[in-house]
Chains A and B, each alone.
Chain A
Amino acid sequence: DIVMAQSPDSLAVSLGERATIHCKSSQSLLYTSNNKNYLAWYQQKPGQPPKLLIYWASTRESGVPDRFSGSGSETDFTLTISSLQAEDVAVYYCQRYDSSPFTFGPGTRVEIK
């Protein structure tokens, strides 16, 4: 199976500062036929289900604040929160969906410094 790794495991960022989370796939998630990267990002707050933030590596889901952005291609991806807000405290997961079985990264916990 394709393995998804995330770094760091956790990070503490001051309010208003930038938070950057990395996700690495053991195989390319880029389909050259449509030039799309099959990578999504989710946010999960305690006691809640995951919430889709980003899909196709960089397309923001409707209603997601524009401080969240996704970038990267092939095997290396990044989720950036440009100005951390208190409500952004959560665990963030990347997920590949290029082929079955779809797998998630282990998660990155984001806290306020």
Chain B
Amino acid sequence: QVQLEESGPGLVKPSETLSLSCSVSGGSISGHYWSWIRQPPGKGLEWIGYIFFVGNANYNPSLRSRVTLSVDTSRNTFSLNLTSVTAADSAIYYCARGRGHFDQWGQGTLVTVSS
């Protein structure tokens, strides 16, 4: 059973860059698509983007100018960078497997944007 675990700072200052990583265990990152999805506390889900293990990525147009996904097959991890954050970017960030429907999810990590 593949397991995913998000890691990164829980607090980011406004205008700075949010950086998170997702570690994949119990299976290889190769051969799959991997996604990031976020959820403001008490609200709905927003797909951020996906990346293929060879590095091809697709982003939500609403975030495209600020988002970069990357993958490191040697460490079996993939990462999210979101620049110029504001309070509206405060959310639980989930990593997940898949590019359409998402069959494995991490537990999520809460990121708060505040000075």
A contact residues vs B (CB 8 Å cutoff): 38, 40, 42, 48-52, 55, 61, 93, 95, 97, 100-107
Contact = CB atoms under 8 A, between A and B. Distances in A.
B61 A49 contact: no
A66 B45 CA distance: 25
A97 B100 contact: yes
Q: Main SS of the interface on chain B?
A: loop
Contact of B94 (A49, A106, A107): A49
12 contacts: A49-B105, A49-B108, A51-B105, A52-B102, A61-B103, A93-B44, A93-B45, A95-B101, A97-B99, A101-B60, A102-B47, A102-B100
- The residue among A40, A61, A100, A103 with the most chain B CB atoms within 10 A of its own CB is A100
B101 A104 contact: no
Contacts of B45: 50, 93, 95, 104
Interface residues of B, number: 20
Given A40-B101, A101-B62, A49 B107 contact: yes
Contacts of A61: 103
B8 interface: no
Contact of A104 (B44, B62, B103, B106): B44
B60 A100 contact: yes
Contact of A52 (B60, B103, B107): B103
